[in-house]
Homo-oligomer: A and B are copies of this chain.
């Protein structure tokens, strides 16, 4: 456990009045206060939860994936599950690869599996021009919007309680001008305008799950995205968190750019999620590539030298983000190099499940420096005070155990053991 003024916003103090079943103060006893979860969301995409939960792969592969998931659960409390409407070629099979046959049950099993293990799940994304349903192309714009609404309503309703956080719409800055290929979503984005489509799909998502946390998500961190957010907020759209992608296949942003981006997107006073973070443990992608999907390599090795670099970058970046009061979540895009997007060595574990140095860095930060585990003694009134990182805790006294949550508004509480 570490404490510093820079992290004051991540911590709280609590006074506990410990009494026994008869209401008498528990005096002079050793008490262990052990953090069991973070309030902050540390996570990654972990699409393999689908296979693990559904056990629909051969036993060898299943065992391998279970080992992968164990390593995920050891450090993370937050997972992104895929909801691409159509097939994402070379990456994921799609939520509704065949019209009328959504993979609802499979994804529900995965979300449940994660929830059972205390992991918060986010669905990604409900609306995007890439990997959308191809049958939208046969529709009028009015029909496309209706189909998109129906798809939002179906998924958001079906997963309510399992998934209450959504990347509602992805990459709106380029949505109406995306010209790699024709698709239904770009067509309606042209029609409705950027703010118009955000307004429509946010309203539909909110209506389907009023208590959900809804994100706008973009890789464009320029002034374009600032102006879009400004427009959306002024149009009365409730954005619960600003999603910022940070795929750094072409090199780590570095402290200066990272702080500059944080500074600019802090103007809205909204929570910020780093939704898709990538830092490589291999060679960098050439800078001239614009759409990262265009870089095709069959072998992109993770090397010891680059693993050291990745570990340093991960340490610096996560520290900067955890220090920033508005950041509430960091998701790495990948957890493992196995099955990684565009084959990149972008995970914290290698293809064979062995840990990279970056994993160990994260483990040290998330479960060490930024985690509270302390022991103290109750005074003559049965009182014990402690300061810790926000999140879930167990109070252990002898063979008794009480669970509680430490939040900003922590006050004195009475606990019975």
Which residues in A have some Cβ–Cβ distance to B below 8 Å? 173, 177, 190, 193-196, 199, 223-224, 227-228, 230-236, 267-268
Contacts and interface: CB of A to CB of B under 8 A. Distances in A.
11 contacts: A193-B230, A195-B227, A195-B234, A196-B230, A199-B234, A223-B224, A224-B227, A227-B227, A228-B230, A231-B234, A234-B235
A267 B193 CA distance: 8
Given A234-B199, A234-B234, A194 B267 contact: no
Contacts of A223: 173, 177, 224
A261 to B, nearest CB: 14
Contact of A228 (B177, B231, B232): B231
B234 A193 contact: yes
A392 B234 CA distance: 41
B227 A173 contact: yes
A173 B223 CA distance: 9
A185 to B, nearest CB: 17
B227 A267 contact: no
**Which 6 pairs across A and B sit closest by C-beta, in order of nearness?**
A231-B231, A234-B235, A195-B234, A227-B227, A193-B230, A195-B230
A23 to B, nearest CB: 54
B227 A194 contact: yes
Contacts of A224: 223-224, 227
A194 B235 CA distance: 13
A273 to B, nearest CB: 21
A228 B193 CA distance: 11
A237 to B, nearest CB: 9
Contacts of A194: 227, 230
A269 to B, nearest CB: 11
A199 to B, nearest CB: 7
Nearest to A199: B234
Given A194-B227, A227-B228, A235-B236, 15 more contacts: A177-B223, A193-B230, A193-B233, A193-B234, A193-B268, A195-B230, A196-B230, A223-B224, A224-B224, A227-B227, A228-B231, A231-B231, A231-B235, A234-B234, A234-B235
A234 B196 contact: yes
Contacts of A230: 193-196, 228, 231
A317 B199 CA distance: 37
A85 to B, nearest CB: 24
A166 to B, nearest CB: 21
Contacts of A234: 193, 195-196, 199, 231-232, 234-235
A381 B234 CA distance: 60
Contact of A232 (B231, B233, B268): B231
A267 B267 CA distance: 29
A191 to B, nearest CB: 9
A192 to B, nearest CB: 10
Nearest to A177: B223
A300 to B, nearest CB: 32
Task: Name which of A196, A199, A231, A236 has the most chain B CB atoms within 10 A of its CB.
Answer: A231
A196 to B, nearest CB: 6
Nearest to A223: B224
A174 to B, nearest CB: 9
Task: Name which of A193, A194, A196, A199 has the most chain B CB atoms within 10 A of its CB.
Answer: A193
A193 B358 CA distance: 39
Contacts of A267: 190, 193
Nearest to A172: B227
A193 B270 CA distance: 14
Nearest to A232: B231
A235 B230 CA distance: 10
